[in-house]
Structure 1
């Protein structure tokens, strides 16, 4: 656990604030062999979705991880490829059902495609996962409220 905390602090210290996705974008790393997604996150922040996807596909081929699939879904959603994005969010949640960022981003995909019942279902899951509140739940709530 301490290794993960030190790694996270090193990543935050090394990356400029503008180049970092929200902290919850990759918040559920479970294994010690998790890939370093710093470069991917910088590419996404710079809207270099093609570069990010190339790098993410390499990670996905090496060892499937919920964080990698979540960022693949996020990146594909930002390019407008909602169908493939849905596939990757689903894969992330199959590997880690309590992945809050994947639930938020999946809910945002549903908001963007007008599927409000499914967006609200993701919000309900986030409420279950963090009943005292969390950034992911708040962000999805704002997206749902803005769409109504």
Structure 2
């Protein structure tokens, strides 16, 4: 009887372990998806990224999801993915830049400036992400007309 109880306990522990297995944090090769993004094939890229997000938890993946959904004008989805990227890596320069651009797109200048402030902290000698966001903010502040 004790052997049967042990066998049942082992079975359920194995099943529970399979269900609770954490997703991978190892980022697979994204070169094909990046090529789709660079060529403007956002729908195809989004399909591949969404599929990967089922098993991979990584800031770079979420950043690309944010960028792709932003380019598809799915701004709420984009905001969610940038938050996810920054949850996994609060210093992710790409996510901070792109989220700042999303803030500008939605009229949140203060949010964009806050992200620029974060980039100032993470790259005090400058970095492309900081410079790009600073230019976008400056352009948004120019009087139109």
User: What TM-score, normalized to structure 2?
Assistant: 0.79
The residue number in structure 1 matching 2:33 is 40
Larger RCO (CA under 8 A, 6+ residues apart): 1
The residue number in structure 1 matching 2:4 is none
SS, match of residue 29 in structure 2: coil
The residue number in structure 1 matching 2:19 is none
Where in structure 1 are there 5+ consecutive unaligned residues?
A: 1-30
SS, match of residue 107 in structure 2: coil
The residue number in structure 2 matching 1:67 is 60
Q: What is the CA–CA distance in structure 2 between the aligned matches of 1:32 and 1:146, rounded to whole Å?
A: 37
Instruction: Choose the corresponding residue for 2:80, options 57, 65, 87.
Output: 87
Q: Number of aligned residue pairs: give it.
A: 118
Where in structure 2 are there 5+ consecutive unaligned residues?
A: 1-23
The residue number in structure 2 matching 1:105 is 98
The residue number in structure 1 matching 2:113 is 120
Which aligned segments of 4 or more residues in structure 1 are displaced greater than 6 angstroms? none
Q: What is the CA–CA distance in structure 2 between the aligned matches of 1:32 and 1:51, rounded to whole Å?
A: 23
Post-superposition shift, 1:34? Answer: 1.3
SS, match of residue 53 in structure 2: helix
Question: Radius of gyration: which is bigger?
Answer: 2
The residue number in structure 2 matching 1:54 is 47
In the alignment, is the contact (CA less than 8 A) between 2:63 and 2:94 conserved in 1?
A: yes
SS, match of residue 62 in structure 1: coil
The residue number in structure 1 matching 2:133 is 140
User: What TM-score, normalized to structure 1?
Assistant: 0.77
